Structure formats: C-alpha cells, structure tokens
Amino acid sequence: MLIQASDGLKQYLHDIVDTLESLRVEAILYQGHTWGGCDIALHEARILGIKHIIHVGHHGPVRVKIPGDIKVLFIPAFSNLSVEKCVYNAIQPLSGYRKIGLLTSIQHYRELNKAKSILEGEGFTVEIGCSKSMPRGLVIGCDLTTALSIRDEVEAYLVISGGVFHPLGVAIATEKPVIRADPYTGKAENIAREAEKVIRLRLSSIVKAIDAENFAILVSIKPGQYLLSKALEIKKRLTDKGKKASILLLSDIDPLQLENFPQFDAYINTACPRVPIDDYQLFHKPVINLHEVEYIIKEKVEDYTSYKSIKYP
C-alpha cells in the first residue's frame, strides 16, 4: 500500500501505517509533494508493483482517470473547528451586499450548511454553487466552477478557508468581491487588495513576456496536470510567430532548477495554474499561464480577463 499526503499532514500518517501493518499490509510512505487530487502517485505505484494508494488530505480525483489496475482511496482532511465565529465576523464585511455566494475548502466542508443557516438568519440570500466537476460549494485551487456557476446570481462571495489561497482564486475567477472567513483565526476580511495585486502582477508578467524571444514551455508529469499536446500546440504557435520555444518536462515546478536554463527569457506554464500566482516571487523571469498565451500571440493586453489566469482546460 502506497500512502501519500499533503506536506502538512505527513506527520499524522503514523496511525494509518500502524493500522495497516497490524493487518499485515506493508505500508510505504510517499515522501514527495502532494499538491492536490490531480497529483496521484500512479507512476510510482506502478514502479513498485503496488495496486492500492491511500491519498490523504484532498478531494479527488481531479482530471485524472484512475486506471483499472490501481485503486485509490481519497481521505479528505476535515477540520474539527467550528465556523460559527468567523461567519458571524463576516456579517460586517458583507453588510453592503444581500445576495451571497457561499463556498468552502474541503477542510470545512462539513460546516457548509451551518454557515448557510447563520447567514440566512442574518437576512442574507445565500446561493451555494455546484458544477459537474466539483461537489456542491467546494472550491479547489484550479477548479472554481462552483463559484462561476452562481456568478450572475450573487453580489459577493463568502469563502470559508484557512488562509487566502482559496478566496483569492474565487476573487480572480469571478471578478467579484470576496470575503474570506478563517476558522483558524476567527477573522473575516475582504481580500480586494490581494486580488488587485495579483491582477497587476499578471499584467506585468504578460507585458514582459510579449518582449521575450526564447520560451520554455513547462510540462508536468503529474497525472492531472500532464498537457503535452497543449505544449506542442503552443510551441508551434510561438515558432510560427518567429519565437524560439523548447519543452521542459518536470514533476514539481522548481524555480531554482529552472535557473539551470539561462537561455530562456520567459516560461509558459501548462501545469498547475496557481504556480505563477502563488509563487510569483520565486521566479526571476515572467511565467505565463496556458490561457494567457493568447496575449503573447496578439502582443496586447487591453482586453485581459483575469479569470483566464487560473482557468484549467
């Protein structure tokens, strides 16, 4: 049995290991990063001849078709914290709006209906988005379809999540006001400044990339991020425009490792679309997402639509 988990949860895997080994099941821990339900260690399992994977911490699978010879058990990491305090603290930041979209990360998914009841008790009309690819009200870093499904029905969003990762994605994707309610701190706040900063940075990266001559197109081997066909298509479009382009195959996008290729002026990212948003400060050259290539080809950003920076095919 191969066990993989997000970095913050690796320290808690000993109970799973002990239980499996008490049942005489050999448990092997996967040391590598596990970023989400798109990142399943199928290749590693095949190398080891393992037929079963336990994936801890995420909803899944995400854009991955699990082969018939391997079974994957997803164990979401649910928090035991109540969302009551942070939702009540969100009432004031939400006071200028009446129609609210309610969303959450997987950690607080079991508290979704409680949050809805609190908001409705305070006089808000609450919509919870749903989509074909995501459970009701759930958002992940690269799939915000539940938020987009109710975009025209709401004035603002409340996203229950630790930190700014998920709310920021919603703000960029919908281009509407987003209040984040953090159960770990009990605080709630509007993230407009953070979203505006990201948009400025995306525009800056695109403008710099327009002047680039030599591009590295980054292709991830992670099952839910592997887009070689798209990379080949982009390479052709760039070379047809007189640019140079090479494809770099990798697992995790490591800015330090990319510095081994100083010949490139800019990077085109076909892997996780949150990389150039959340890790922008780690890159010394512009990083462009898949759906931002159009602006490079057109050589203009006047019609830039921010949600494209995190849209995944």
Taking the C-alpha atoms of residue 162 and residue 215, their distance in angstroms, rounded to an integer, is: 35
Sheet bearing 178-181, strands edge to edge: 125-128, 99-104, 156-160, 178-181, 188-190
Closest to 159 (Cα-Cα) out of 213, 236, 103: 103
- Tell me which residue has tokens 């995790």: 252
The pLDDT averaged over each successive group of 10 residues in the chain (313 residues) is 95 95 96 94 96 96 94 96 98 97 97 98 97 96 96 98 96 96 98 95 96 98 96 98 97 94 98 94 95 95 88 83
Burial environment of residue 102 by CB neighbours within 10 A (0 to 12, 13 to 18, 19 or more): buried
Mapped onto helix, strand or coil, the DSSP state of residue 235 is: helix
Map out the domains of the chain as residue ranges.
Answer: 2-76, 84-190, 195-309
* Protein fold of 84-190: Rossmann fold (3.40.50)
Taking the C-alpha atoms of residue 13 and residue 295, their distance in angstroms, rounded to an integer, is: 45
Q: Do domains 2-76 and 195-309 have the same CATH topology?
A: yes
Taking the C-alpha atoms of residue 233 and residue 224, their distance in angstroms, rounded to an integer, is: 19
Alpha helices in the chain (DSSP H): 14-22, 42-48, 84-89, 112-121, 145-148, 165-174, 192-210, 228-240, 255-258, 275-278, 293-298
Q: Are 74 and 61 in contact (CB under 8 A)?
A: yes
Please list the residues that pair with 218 across neighbouring strands: 248, 269
* pLDDT at res. 307: 85
Range 195-309 classified under CATH 3.40.50.2300: no
144 C-beta neighbours (distance < 10 Å), count: 26
Pick the CATH number of 2-76 from 3.30.2130.30, 3.40.50.11840, 3.90.1150.10, 3.40.50.10420: 3.40.50.11840
Taking the C-alpha atoms of residue 215 and residue 267, their distance in angstroms, rounded to an integer, is: 6
165-174 vs 192-210: helix crossing angle, rounded to 10: 70
Q: Which residues, including other chains, have CB under 8 Å from residue 207's CB and lie 6 or more apart?
A: 301
